[in-house]
Amino acid sequence: MASCGQRALEKIVQVDNNRRRTRGALRRAADIILSGGVVAYPTESFYGLAVNIENDSAIKKLYEIKKREADKPILILIPSAEDLRTYVEETPEAACKLIEAFWPGGLTILFRSAMSVSPLLTAGTGKIGIRLSSHPVASGLARAVGKAITGTSANISGQPPCQDARQVEKTIGRAVDLILDGGATQGGGGSTIIDVTVSPSVILRQGIVGRQEIEKVLGKSLAAA
């Protein structure tokens, strides 16, 4: 019979250069997400938490795990740039320029959400933050699920985000169903968040992608937040 320590370790699965093991782990994680569960996974900066964005019960569970206030929206990661149209009402010209320059990467773009997007994710704002991740595990997980997944950080709201699988296990491990261990993440800033539903666009959170880089691509100055 497995000990309690061994059972705990089974929740943490390594994803690394072993392609067969990684494919198996991603399939297992995708099955958990599609069944309403919660999976922690590495991104460019910190670990994130993924649930099925079409399952309101799973989204509510995510808010409970993070102790996150309901008026704070949750961004999503898409499998590919081609999937963007599924989740947005329109794609402004500014967004097209930013996508070409910074996706996949550390830029979250705020769009007017399609009617199909749960208002739990938008916190009733009608806007949804979307990113195409450059991290192989994060992007691989979204592709394995076959649809967008949540991209919120793996932590209790207001506390530092986790940079490795053991921190996730220690902080919220009992509440998640699986942790994909991709090693330590680089930390630093999270993704930069820019709202393109207004003109000029506004940076809501400064992160991986700098203001000057964005202004160079857009060819104009950004509004103050």
Give the mean pLDDT of 44-60: 98
Q: What CATH number is given to the structural domain containing 96? A: 3.90.870.10
- Residue 225 has a pLDDT of 67
The token duo for 73 is: 């929206």
What number of residues does the chain have?
225
Question: Do 14 and 21 touch, CB atoms closer than 8 A?
Answer: yes
pLDDT higher at 202 or 9: 202
pLDDT higher at 137 or 1: 137
pLDDT higher at 47 or 17: 47
Taking only the tens place, the pLDDT of each residue in 169-189 is 999 999 999 999 999 999 988
Confidence of residue 216 (pLDDT cuts 50, 70, 90): very high
DSSP per-residue codes, the chain: ---HHHHHHHTEEE-SS-HHHHHHHHHHHHHHHHTT--EEEE-SSSEEEE-BTT-HHHHHHHHHHHT--TTS---EE-SSGGGGGGTBS---HHHHHHHHHH-SSSEEEEEEBPTTS-HHHHTTSSEEEEE---SHHHHHHHHHHTS-EE-EESS-TTSPPP-SHHHHHHHHGGG-SEEEE------S---EEEE-SSSS-EEEE--SS-HHHHHHHHTSPPBP-
* Predicted structure pTM score: 0.93
Domain that holds residue 69: 4-218
The token duo for 155 is: 């932590």
Residue 145 belongs to a domain: yes
Residue 223 belongs to a domain: no
Residue 76 belongs to a domain: yes
Taking only the tens place, the pLDDT of each residue in 107-131 is 999 999 999 999 999 999 999 999 9
pLDDT higher at 9 or 13: 13
Residue 188 belongs to a domain: yes
Residue 165 belongs to a domain: yes
- Residue 6 has a pLDDT of 45
Give the mean pLDDT of 14-27: 89
User: Considering the chain, what percentage of its residues have pLDDT values greater than 70?
Assistant: 95
- Residue 9 has a pLDDT of 42
Number of domains in the chain: 1
Residue 225 belongs to a domain: no
The token duo for 112 is: 């007017």
